[in-house]
A = this chain, B = another copy of it.
Amino acid sequence: MISWSNADSLSSWKKLQSLKGMVSVADELSGSGAADRIAKYSIPMGGALTYNFAAKQVNEQILKTLAELAEEQQLVEKYQELLDGAVINTGEKRMVLHQLTRGQLGKDVMADGVNKREFYINEVKRIADFANDVHSGKLVNEKGEKYTTVCQIGIGGSDLGPRAMYLALENWAKKNKAFKMEAHFISNVDPDDAASVVKSLDISKTIFILVSKSGTTLETLTNESFVKDFIKKAGCDASKHMIAVTSETSPLAHNPDYMAAFYMDDYIGGRYSSTSGVGGAVLSLAFGPKVFQDFLDGAAEEDKLCLNKDITKNAALMDALIGVYERNVQGYPATAILPYSQALSRFPAHLQQLDMESNGKSVNRDGKPLGYVTGPVIFGEPGTNGQHSFYQLLHQGTDIIPLQFIAFRENQTGEDVVIEDSTSQVKLCANVTAQIVAFACGKSDADPNKSFAGGRPSSLIYGAQLNPKSLGALLAHYENKVMFQGFVWNVNSFDQEGVQLGKKLAKTVLSGNMEGALKAYAGLLIK
């Protein structure tokens, strides 16, 4: 029997509060036991990745208490409920089915008169057939020419995840002869965004992918019209240059204005939609259906591992629990995501949405105010770039910011250069190594300005290479981490009511019927 309780009602939570400041990572990683600890505090993930938490502020006692918390709060049982089709999204009274887009780990889920797993598989197949027809030249433009480019129009979850995944695999696909079409993205309602992207395209050979679950997203529909003007000016027929990814109940569905439409549903939130048609259309067109399927398989592998109730064998669960310890016991307000891979340049921006939109909540899943802090601020940039930027504060600032490093032994393009006896890739990995130890151990110096206190915790996810499968696993890891943290905090991680008030007030401003502060600010900004 599942029981939904606030974290502060649990005895393991209370016990955890007494374990503040217990572990010095400087001591742990400076001592003779460092290598053993690094070998031990390690969990295999899907996609041949590994999660290492040796530089986190935990010991056996804390891990034992975190395991009790996982059990008392029934974290894996709740995940199984979700997989079985329970209405986990209490606010919107919806099931949460994004894991079902990549595999089935629970009961058959029926909704809208269909088996949802079959529905998702069928959409992947429909997208694959469409992509194959585009790539083979079976589907061509008005002049009988092959399409060369895709351009996604979407915002939030219809943009950040798919864009980050495209950038993550672009170089890999080029190297592995899987690159089919260039992809571009338009998201902002700022007209300069659409204008500058559209002007860079050969519209006659471009397929635009309009992505909106509801089919009513203001920014996306505005940009659709914007783009359609350009298509018309280019002498082309929009219905030969636009497909839709939407829900079957949206105005974009079954609409002859689009070459094709692919479907998702209300059970997949925007920020969890990279493995649905929202990511599937652009990734299948850009890299071919096989790459998208490998990406799904990597995610599915990770989803399965996340069912393990042993926290020392479940990386996402461990990551989630340590994050809770850092947030609610140690009191750290933010977390940095630091991928040592240029291909992951926009992955932190995606995780920023995934995490902050899911768990940036002040009420529990029943709408009752919570007595503890929830989701932290998430930010990050790729290393080594960040080292020459904000790392100063991470090393010597007055607040401690927990860090999540991501690194791969091999690069994607196969291009490299040896300078001073090492390749750039080895330099990159040497820097990750050095940073973990520098943050953890610090270094005293006679000059206090050159002293490093250390004690700054980090984790490391690593693998051989960033490829479709490891990317899928990496994405699923973070989705599941966020889910588990939501379960700990007893919040609904799958709605986003916090974005509604701004939307409503923007409509008021556009209507012209405003007063007070709205009117005064509008007077400054609107011509």
Residue from B155, B370, B447, B451 within 8 A of A388 (CB atoms): B155
Secondary structure type dominating chain A contacts: helix
- A9 interface hit (Cβ, 8 Å): no
Q: Across the interface, which residues of B come within 8 angstroms of A472, CB to CB?
A: none
CB distance from A175 to the nearest CB of B (A): 9
Q: Across the interface, which residues of B come within 8 angstroms of A442, CB to CB?
A: 501
Residue from B229, B353, B416, B450 within 8 A of A389 (CB atoms): B353
Q: Across the interface, which residues of B come within 8 angstroms of A119, CB to CB?
A: none
Complex interface bits, A133-159 against B, C-beta within 8 A gives 1, otherwise 0: 000000000000000000000011101
Complex interface bits, A35-55 against B, C-beta within 8 A gives 1, otherwise 0: 100110000000000101010
- A114 interface hit (Cβ, 8 Å): no
CB distance from A206 to the nearest CB of B (A): 17
**Contact between chains at B499 and A434 (CB < 8 Å):** no
CB distance from A501 to the nearest CB of B (A): 4
A318 to B497: give the CA distance in the assembly, Å: 34
Given contacts A382-B190, A449-B367, A527-B410, contact A388 B502 (CB under 8 A): no
A387 to B70: give the CA distance in the assembly, Å: 33
Q: Across the interface, which residues of B come within 8 angstroms of A527, CB to CB?
A: 409-410, 426
Given contacts A363-B448, A434-B506, A526-B429, contact A222 B424 (CB under 8 A): yes
Given contacts A388-B157, A502-B434, contact A191 B509 (CB under 8 A): no
Stretch at the interface among A12-20, A243-251, A334-342: A334-342
Stretch at the interface among A289-297, A298-306, A513-521: A513-521
**Contact between chains at A397 and B190 (CB < 8 Å):** no
Q: Across the interface, which residues of B come within 8 angstroms of A412, CB to CB?
A: 192
Given contacts A390-B352, A397-B356, A422-B510, contact A34 B516 (CB under 8 A): yes
Within 8 A of B (CB), among A395-435: 395-399, 401, 407, 409-413, 415-417, 419-435
**Contact between chains at A522 and B424 (CB < 8 Å):** no
**Contact between chains at A438 and B229 (CB < 8 Å):** no
A503 to B377: give the CA distance in the assembly, Å: 27
Residue from B54, B367, B392, B411 within 8 A of A356 (CB atoms): B392
- A10 interface hit (Cβ, 8 Å): no
- A67 interface hit (Cβ, 8 Å): no
- A374 interface hit (Cβ, 8 Å): yes
| Beta-carbon nearest neighbor of A424 in chain B | B191
Given contacts A356-B397, A411-B192, A505-B437, contact A222 B157 (CB under 8 A): no
- In this complex, the interface size class of chain A, counting residues with CB under 8 Å from chain B, is 35 or more
| Beta-carbon nearest neighbor of A382 in chain B | B188
CB distance from A166 to the nearest CB of B (A): 13
Complex interface bits, A362-395 against B, C-beta within 8 A gives 1, otherwise 0: 1100011110111111110111110111111111
A76 to B181: give the CA distance in the assembly, Å: 56
Q: Across the interface, which residues of B come within 8 angstroms of A121, CB to CB?
A: none
- A22 interface hit (Cβ, 8 Å): no
CB distance from A424 to the nearest CB of B (A): 4
A138 to B429: give the CA distance in the assembly, Å: 44
- A349 interface hit (Cβ, 8 Å): yes
A443 to B502: give the CA distance in the assembly, Å: 10
Given contacts A398-B373, A427-B510, A433-B522, contact A450 B500 (CB under 8 A): yes
**Contact between chains at A363 and B449 (CB < 8 Å):** yes
**Contact between chains at A417 and B510 (CB < 8 Å):** no
Residue from B171, B395, B413, B430 within 8 A of A498 (CB atoms): B395
CB distance from A233 to the nearest CB of B (A): 11
- A361 interface hit (Cβ, 8 Å): yes
**Contact between chains at B196 and A170 (CB < 8 Å):** yes
- A30 interface hit (Cβ, 8 Å): yes
A219 to B342: give the CA distance in the assembly, Å: 13
Q: Across the interface, which residues of B come within 8 angstroms of A427, CB to CB?
A: 189, 218-219, 222, 506, 510
A437 to B505: give the CA distance in the assembly, Å: 8
- A330 interface hit (Cβ, 8 Å): no
- A462 interface hit (Cβ, 8 Å): yes
Q: Across the interface, which residues of B come within 8 angstroms of A419, CB to CB?
A: 221-222, 225
A358 to B168: give the CA distance in the assembly, Å: 31
- A453 interface hit (Cβ, 8 Å): yes
| Beta-carbon nearest neighbor of A28 in chain B | B517
- A357 interface hit (Cβ, 8 Å): yes
Question: Can you name 15 extra interface pairs (CB under 8 A) apart from A373-B398, A395-B499, A462-B524?
Answer: A155-B385, A159-B385, A171-B192, A188-B383, A190-B342, A222-B424, A225-B417, A363-B396, A367-B449, A376-B399, A377-B377, A409-B526, A430-B509, A430-B522, A434-B508
12 contacts between A and B (CB under 8 A): A34-B517, A159-B388, A189-B384, A190-B340, A222-B417, A222-B424, A223-B424, A225-B419, A349-B389, A362-B453, A396-B498, A434-B509
